Amino acid sequence: MHGMISKPPETAANRNLATSRVVLLLLVMMTGIAPISLYMLVPALPVLAANFGSDISIAQMTVSLYMVGIALSQLIMGPLSDKFGRRPVLLTGLALMVAASIACIFAQNLPQLIAARFFQALGGAAGMVVSRAIIRDIYERERVASMISLVIAALMIGQMLSPLTGGLIETAFGWRAIFYAITIGAIAVAAGIALALPETRRSRAAGSGFRGDVGMLIRNRDFIGYVMCQVLASQIIFTFAGGGPYIVVTQMGRSSAEYGAWFATTGFAYLVGNLLCVRFAPRHSLERLIWFGLGLQLCGSLLNLLWSIFGWNEAPAWLFGTQMVVMAGNAFVMANSAAGAISIRPEAAGTASGAMGFLQQGIGALMSQFGAYLGGHSATTLPLTSAVLAISLLCACMMIFVVPRRQAVVSETLIEQAEEEESGMM
């Protein structure tokens, strides 16, 4: 039994939500509150280490344990949102984030701060998993990918600015002021959800629950294939980000600032890929867009491997120029495979989104370390680019051997509806 795919109920309420700029803004804010809070503190890590008289590696745990909190939150909050509704889980998660942020302000030592940061992530990341479920609640399957891409595109602008913002706040007011800003942001998002976001969870069949949802999902080939495709695509980012600094700074002898500038080009390419996905998704099937993205990933990965073999990408322009092609394709693969995964059983979109997010973050932590090992223990870029190509091939194998082929037709009506919604939101 493949692809239990259904459309959201065509109601006036759903139509209003789908075209609401306020709802779109809330989706961006609830998705971004956790990752932006992560990156805002990064520039202050040396100050934290000096302030508490600890090694920088201990201060780094305010980031690493935060990422663990994000991963666990995905696994917990998704199923809870299916059972109790999107709004209660979002508001509870944000309440936990506010409480933990206040605890960060008054932390007297690093262990207290690290623990508070873990709970800050555990609550704040509810928005990441529930936002994908809300998108599936109010949009048709073929519109989900474009809406995920639109939210990610807006979010990435905030993520790119958050380290700068955190650094400016720390310089002007001290590191505790960063948590004042995060607390105010979390309260603002919670207020917006309480005032402007209605409950979107679908009605559930009698007797359905977490066990039934999980059982049906893991027995579904479509779900497994889409999830693994999305998770493997995300590992390209984690692996390259883990090894990139060692290659640019250690092997190529460039400064860390120059590495940051080059790495930003891959983020820009990912942003462009998401914006293109927003434009193309209403006109092409979800599967076709995944294949387009896989093609770009494979071409870019193969070229980077060839540059490594011939020794050409020992300069950042070659390495990152080709990686930009990979990242543009990566945006198509991740958004559309995520849309496919959460569309298998729409009433369990939270559970599906949570499982996908947990695997993405959990495996990502390991692959980041793996990428760092490849970059830091080799004299060329060949090991890292080989790993990226191998992941790209595995990602394509998920679509070839796991996801059943489907002939999807995108109607003119759907295109017109998407254009109306897009013009209403932009």
**Which string of b and e fits 22-61 if b means at least 16 CB within 10 Å?**
ebbebbbbbbbbbbbbbbbbebbbebbbeebeeeeebbeb
| Alpha helices, DSSP H, located in 283-378 | 286-310, 316-342, 349-376
Matching fold, domains 12-210 and 212-425: yes
CB 148 within 8 A of CB 276: no
Tell me which amino acid residue 358 is. Answer: F
Per-10-residue mean pLDDT, the chain, length 426: 43 59 88 90 85 82 87 91 92 97 95 95 93 87 83 80 86 93 96 91 63 84 93 92 84 81 87 90 86 96 94 87 95 92 87 89 84 85 94 95 67 50 47
Tell me which residue of 360, 425, 374, 409 sits closest to 135, measured CA to CA.
425
What is the third-level CATH fold of 12-210? Growth Hormone; Chain: A; (1.20.1250)
- Tell whether pTM > 0.85: no
pLDDT tens by residue, 388-421: 999 999 999 999 999 887 654 444 554 455 455 4
d(CA 20, CA 12): 12
Q: 369 by DSSP, 3-state: which?
A: helix
pLDDT score for 57: 75
Q: What is the largest CA-CA distance in the chain?
A: 64
Q: 407 by DSSP, 3-state: which?
A: coil
pLDDT tens by residue, 361-390: 888 878 888 888 888 888 889 999 999 999
Domain residue extents for the chain = 12-210, 212-425
pLDDT score for 336: 92
CATH for the stretch 212-425: 1.20.1250.20
d(CA 241, CA 61): 18
Tell me which residue of 27, 235, 238 sits closest to 227, measured CA to CA.
235
pLDDT score for 1: 37
Tell me which residue of 225, 375, 240 sits closest to 297, measured CA to CA.
240
Q: For 252, which DSSP code?
A: S
